[in-house]
Amino acid sequence: MANTLPVYDVRCAWQVTDVSAFADRGGLSNGRVGLRLCNLGGSKLRGNSSLVSRSGGRNGACVGGSRALTPITKSVLKTEYETPAGVEADVTRLERAVTERGFEVDSRIEEELKGEGGFRNVRRTKLIATIGPSCCSYEQMEALASSGVNIARLNMCHGTHEWHRQVIKNCRRLNAEKGYGIVVMIDTEGSEIHMGDLGGVSSAKAEDGEEWCFTIRKFNGPLPAYTLPVNYEGFAEDVQVGDELVVDGGMVRFEVLEKVGPDVKCKCTDPGILLPCANLNLWRDGYLVREKNVTLPTISSKLANGLQDWVDIDFGISEGVDFIAVSFVKSPDVIKHLKSYVAARSPDRSIGVIAKIEDANSLRCLDDIIRVSDGVMVARGDLGAQIPLEQVPSVQEAIIDACRKLNRPVIVASQLLESMIEYPTPTRAEVADVSNAVRQQADALMLSGESAMGLHPQKAVEVLRGVSVRMEHWSREESHHEKPPLPEISTSDTGRTSEQICNSATQIANKLGADAILVYTRRGYMASLISRNRPDCPIFAFTESRNVMRCMDLQWGVVPFQFAFRKDLESNLLQSLALLKAHCMVRSGNLVVAVSDVSSASQSGTGVLQSIQVHVLS
């Protein structure tokens, strides 16, 4: 049980300049030091509230190309909003767990916390796996979950709604029956120009010099030889002889030789494998074709799949997914529009909207996109087809940096372990790339083809996990010096108080070598503010809502728990520590720092009390 010792009250946050000295004075060996920051109604907190300056900017001359989600003003679908498959069973189990055990946490994480390495070695970087034919059965998905996958991604470019519904059902069943906490993310098609399916075959090979016909004609059944359907009706009109056609981010290239009605004859200049629904980009005179260079001003209305994204989004909402990732975002507007659409259609549970950065236009308004999104994905596959490849690593770092400053989780995606689609071991270069993303402290890493259609999905997850844990450990050992301060993000008094509390709690935890930071959070915001600081120890985040618990699982270092809040911070803290200890997830001698934004009756009688406490478990 934790000791109870006097708590120090600090009425003005801004007098506390050296929290570590304050903590040091407290005599930690025998219990707890409390540091309470009290926001007294009406008092203004002064300080520098400037927001982060804009970064990102143009990348060379390549701008735009494909088309993001087009705003709509009314639902294009009449969706029946039934209770999503399996959600009830999951909720029932969670409620039972919370009642019977006092809290709920992913069963595999619980094992990890109790494990040999102790919980300081728990993995901080979250793992996402794209689900496809190689890993979609219940057993295959269980293997991925047990290897550490936090989030299942469903790419709406592929598969039917029926297929995706079955995968979501598997996730719910695994959560309900096996105690995993798998989070579900759908990824929209993004209305880009792409090929259709290959008439039923899984791939085709284009050899150097071969002539292929890209056509807007429709086929039912097998395709004629050397023919590839294109989903964009304006394609034959918009291409010009001499254009370069880049397939799948550069995996295969063609030169346009001739236009004949709906057909575009092309010569393969860079051979490779053609996959169904592969993305197409057009380059002219060394530049990506911008929309305004295309004969018609907007291409979205002519895309066969213009409305498909909205149909898929309605599907995601009705299935109760946790995140929607939006492909080919060009500006903040599309995200704002989708967020209000989702809020109106899913009023009772929040669905995080993730902006995928893969369109060169998005780099010109990166900070604005990040601010309105719930998270960001560096979608290196298509991004690498829109900006010169050699710029992708620096753009990745700039995006991760901007997300950190603006407090949004960021995912690094595509080709992390590409060779593992075929081979059981990664290349050294792939391991170095994954290590680099972990070192940059991205919140999550994502597998695409490696898990969806590769031969070794589980091994690929294990490689990501192993490399993450190793690199995180090394980074902690290596950088025990002060990290540069993060810019302030909040402008309101309460927001700034929360931010300072979380920054200070992290400093205290790092200085004292704490074993964990405990945070009690209703919406997950306080947990995100701590995660943003990337503390040396894991963050145990307690929340009442299952929805918030799932959404927090995208964040670096956060171990989410569902837990019924007691009447005040004191009881929350004692109860959660007792439960963690009873389940061997913390031990005697562990030092924990606790942070709360859960309102409690203020001892001073005014305002909302927020506090930092330090406990040594006896």
Ligand X SMILES: Nc1ncnc2c1ncn2[C@@H]1O[C@H](COP(=O)(O)OP(=O)(O)OP(=O)(O)O)[C@@H](O)[C@H]1O
Residues 313, 344: Cα–Cα separation, whole Å = 13
Q: Which stretch binds ligand CC(=O)C(=O)O (CB under 6 A): 87-95, 195-203, 379-387, 553-561?
A: 379-387
CA 210 remoteness from chain centre: 40
Contact flag: residue 452 with ligand X (CB under 6 A): yes
CA dihedral 552, 554, 560, 566 (to 10 degrees): 0
Q: Is the dihedral of CA 558, 562, 568, 574 positive or negative?
A: negative
Alpha helices in 319-456 (DSSP H): 332-345, 366-372, 380-386, 392-406, 428-439, 449-452
Determine which residue in the list 37, 213, 324, 413 makes contact with ligand CC(=O)C(=O)O, applying CB under 6 A: 413
Binding residues for ligand CC(=O)C(=O)O restricted to 419-448, rule: CB under 6 A: 448
Contact 166, 249 (CB under 8 A): no
Residue 243 binds which entry of Mg ion, ligand X, ligand CC(=O)C(=O)O, none, with Cβ cut-offs from 5 to 8 Å by kind?
none
Contact 507, 517 (CB under 8 A): no
**Gyration radius of the chain over CA positions:** 25
Q: Which stretch binds K ion (CB under 5 A): 326-334, 340-348, 431-439, 511-519?
A: 326-334
Q: Which is nearer to ligand X, 106 or 433 (CB)?
A: 433
Residues 280, 232: Cα–Cα separation, whole Å = 10
Residue 407 binds which entry of Mg ion, ligand X, K ion, none, with Cβ cut-offs from 5 to 8 Å by kind?
none
Q: Tell me the closest approach of the beta carbon of residue 306 to K ion, in angstroms.
A: 15
Number of residue whose CB is nearest ligand CC(=O)C(=O)O: 381
Contact flag: residue 68 with ligand X (CB under 6 A): no
Give the residue among 86, 61, 56, 117 at the shortest CA–CA distance from 284.
61
Q: Which is nearer to ligand CC(=O)C(=O)O, 415 or 521 (CB)?
A: 415
Contact 516, 540 (CB under 8 A): yes
Count Cβ neighbours within 10 Å for each residue of 106-130 and write b for 16 or more, e otherwise. bbbbbebbeeeeebebbbbbbbbbb
Q: Tell me the closest approach of the beta carbon of residue 164 to ligand X, in angstroms.
A: 7
Q: Which is nearer to ligand CC(=O)C(=O)O, 319 or 382 (CB)?
A: 382
Contact flag: residue 382 with ligand X (CB under 6 A): yes
Beta strands 211-215 and 227-229 are: parallel
Q: Which is nearer to ligand CC(=O)C(=O)O, 164 or 173 (CB)?
A: 164
Q: Tell me the closest approach of the beta carbon of residue 309 to ligand X, in angstroms.
A: 12
98 class by beta-carbon count within 10 Å (0-12 exposed, 13-18 middle, 19+ buried): middle
Alpha carbon of 126 to those of 145, 165, 452, 465: distances in Å? Answer: 12, 24, 18, 9
Determine which residue in the list 135, 372, 453, 559 makes contact with ligand X, applying CB under 6 A: 453
Helix (H) or strand (E) holding 576: helix 569-582
Contact flag: residue 560 with ligand X (CB under 6 A): no
**At 198, phi and psi to the nearest 5?**
-100, 40
Contact flag: residue 358 with ligand CC(=O)C(=O)O (CB under 6 A): yes
Number of residue whose CB is nearest ligand X: 448
Count Cβ neighbours within 10 Å for each residue of 214-232 and write b for 16 or more, e otherwise. bbbeeeeeebeeebbbbbb
DSSP for 10-30 reads: ES-GGG---HHHHHHHT-GGG
Helix (H) or strand (E) holding 508: helix 493-512
Binding residues for ligand X restricted to 320-339, rule: CB under 6 A: 327
**At 611, phi and psi to the nearest 5?**
-150, 160
Contact 315, 163 (CB under 8 A): no
Contact flag: residue 312 with ligand X (CB under 6 A): no
Contact flag: residue 400 with K ion (CB under 5 A): no
Q: Which stretch binds ligand CC(=O)C(=O)O (CB under 6 A): 97-105, 142-150, 204-212, 373-381?
A: 373-381
For residue 62 the two structure tokens come to 């390549």
Residues 254, 276: Cα–Cα separation, whole Å = 17
Q: Which stretch binds ligand CC(=O)C(=O)O (CB under 6 A): 268-276, 374-382, 451-459, 572-580?
A: 374-382
Binding residues for ligand X restricted to 253-282, rule: CB under 6 A: 275, 277, 279
Q: Which is nearer to Mg ion, 316 or 381 (CB)?
A: 381
Q: Tell me the closest approach of the beta carbon of residue 600 to ligand CC(=O)C(=O)O, in angstroms.
A: 43
Q: Tell me the closest approach of the beta carbon of residue 186 to ligand X, in angstroms.
A: 11
Q: Which is nearer to ligand X, 309 or 322 (CB)?
A: 309
Q: CB neighbours (10 Å) of residue 153?
A: 26
Query: Residues 288-327: x/- map of binding to ligand CC(=O)C(=O)O (CB under 6 A)?
Result: ---------------------------------------x
Q: Which is nearer to ligand CC(=O)C(=O)O, 151 or 616 (CB)?
A: 151
Q: Which is nearer to ligand X, 245 or 518 (CB)?
A: 245
Q: Which is nearer to ligand X, 132 or 306 (CB)?
A: 132
Q: Which is nearer to K ion, 130 or 600 (CB)?
A: 130
Determine which residue in the list 90, 112, 187, 358 makes contact with K ion, applying CB under 5 A: 187
Question: Where on the chain is the footprint of Mg ion (CB under 5 A)?
Answer: 358, 379, 381-382
Contact flag: residue 327 with K ion (CB under 5 A): yes
Q: Which is nearer to ligand X, 34 or 381 (CB)?
A: 381
3-state secondary structure of 568: coil
Number of residues that bind ligand X (CB under 6 A): 18
**Residues lying near K ion in the complex (CB under 5 A):** 155, 157, 187, 327
**Residues lying near ligand CC(=O)C(=O)O in the complex (CB under 6 A):** 327, 356, 358, 379-382, 413-414, 448
